[in-house]
Structure formats: C-alpha cells, structure tokens
A = this chain, B = another copy of it.
C-alpha cells in the first residue's frame, strides 16, 4: 500500500534529462519539447496486462518495467528512429507494494538511460483488477528516412537482425517452472530473452542512415506474422529459405518441428525483420560487421500483386497471439 500519490510521483521525477530540447517534463499538465526541423517525429504506444502478457511467475517487477519500455523502443527501432521521450501510465492493482512499483520504474529507467530517453509524463491510477502498464515512446527520424512496411519490392533480400525462437522457448520454461526455479546456464539464456529483450535501436539506425529503401518490422508476434504484414503492406510474395533461418545453439537439440514452431511463430524476440535490394544489402552487411552485429539473409521477395509468405513453397500463415480470440 502506497503512502501518497503526490509523494510517489515526486519520487519518480528524473533529476536530470538527457534530451537538451526538453522544455517541460513531469510537473505540469503536459510535457513540451522543441522540435528539430530536419527530423520527423515518431510515436508509438503499447500496453502490458498482468495475467495476459506476464504473471508474477514469469517476470519480476523490474523486468515488467524493462519489457514494457523495450517493446516500445523496438517499435521505434522498426521505423529507423531515435527514441527521445517516454510516458508511463499505470493502473496499480491492490496487491502491488511500493517496493515493487519502485523496482518496476527502475527497470524502465535503466533501459531508458542506455538510449538517453527521458521520462516526461504519465498517469498513476488504481484498479481493482490486474496491473495494466501503458508506455508511450516518442522519437525522431531524419525526414524521409523512416522505414515502412510498404517498402518491399520484387527481388529484395529478406533479412533478420537476430535469432528468433529463444524468447518463446524461455516463456515455456517460465510457465512450467516459474522464475523462482534454478535454471541452468542455457535455460537462463532463454528465459532472459523473454524477460529482458534488448531493442534493436542500433540496427534500425544503421538501416535508416544507410539511406537505402528498406521495409522493416520488429518481431513482436513471430516472423510468420511480421512477414505477412510486410507482404500485405507491399503487396508482394515473400519466400523464406528454411535452411537459412539462424538457429539458436540452445534450441538445436529440439526436434526440427518444435524448433521451427518457435522460430516462425514464437514472437517477442524484438529483433528486426525486413527487405531491401540485394546490392544495398551487401553494403549494409559490412556496416553491421563494423559494429559486430549480425545480419542474416533468410529469403527473397518475388512477384508483386500476390500477397503471400511461403516457406518450402508452403504458405506461412499469420499465427501470432490474438487478444480477441484468447478471451
């Protein structure tokens, strides 16, 4: 039980801001910043609900905070943008202690500091139901450089900025054993992917700064779903080469079927998936190399006019988590 809302809000006001153009953060009716005229502004919002997106068995309070911000930073990354500010709206459940709330905000702050992103506002309210956490992130990207889903064209290379499947495998472990369990090193590596995803901001920036036409999505719902979104937005057919999908060394021991399910439908990996022309791709690979970042070629865009994603010539359907069907 918290002492006082006003005291609590005072305790989360940042002592300094990273962004020099912030004019007013927390402390008035709204936050205000001056704009950079060479940049476009970007905004996204995501909500995490206890019992749906996490439970007390899968995420610690600090991990809830980290992840709620990370999934938004990942959306910013998928536009090729630089994060600047975030706002946090939280509906606090009766069971939530002041220490847990503190840890949750600390989890956000630590991640935000890595990307010089400032907390500039929010709302704290009570609920009789589960905890609901909504994070809004604002960023900026050079005019005309944002990376839309609709940018894919025939003959493009399809690429991934990281391995997929570990987060979903980690979630399975957490659901069966809970986070209190003593996991071995390999298992901890999987659970960490689920609990503390690292947004691919750097990768998104390398792609945007390259100036090359790029279609891009972040992998929140699994690459099957994300690639279908790109195929739909661009009206193209995408072929995935199963042999080229990067495989987590930890998941190699699984049956091929089980592993592929994690890789294609797992979701919550928060790597980036996209397409670009082959000649540009080779140049971008060398930029990624310089930063010691992998970039995997996993397929190719073929004709325009038929929206589809194929793997081994079989349709790969959208099969992410659907909040309406699950209810």
Contacts and interface: CB of A to CB of B under 8 A. Distances in A.
B30 A76 contact: yes
A37 interface: yes
B29 A217 contact: yes
A45 B122 CA distance: 6
B23 A44 contact: no
Interface of A: 1-6, 8, 23-24, 27-37, 39-49, 51-53, 74-76, 78-79, 81, 85, 87, 89-94, 120-130, 132, 134, 136-139, 141, 143, 146, 148-150, 216-218, 233, 318, 322-327
B87 A47 contact: no
B143 A49 contact: no
26 contacts: A1-B327, A5-B323, A5-B324, A28-B78, A29-B44, A30-B81, A30-B139, A31-B42, A31-B44, A32-B79, A32-B141, A33-B40, A43-B120, A45-B89, A45-B121, A45-B122, A45-B134, A47-B132, A49-B91, A51-B128, A52-B125, A89-B89, A89-B134, A94-B327, A127-B129, A129-B130
A24 B122 contact: no
A6 to B, nearest CB: 8
A48 B125 CA distance: 8
A126 to B, nearest CB: 4
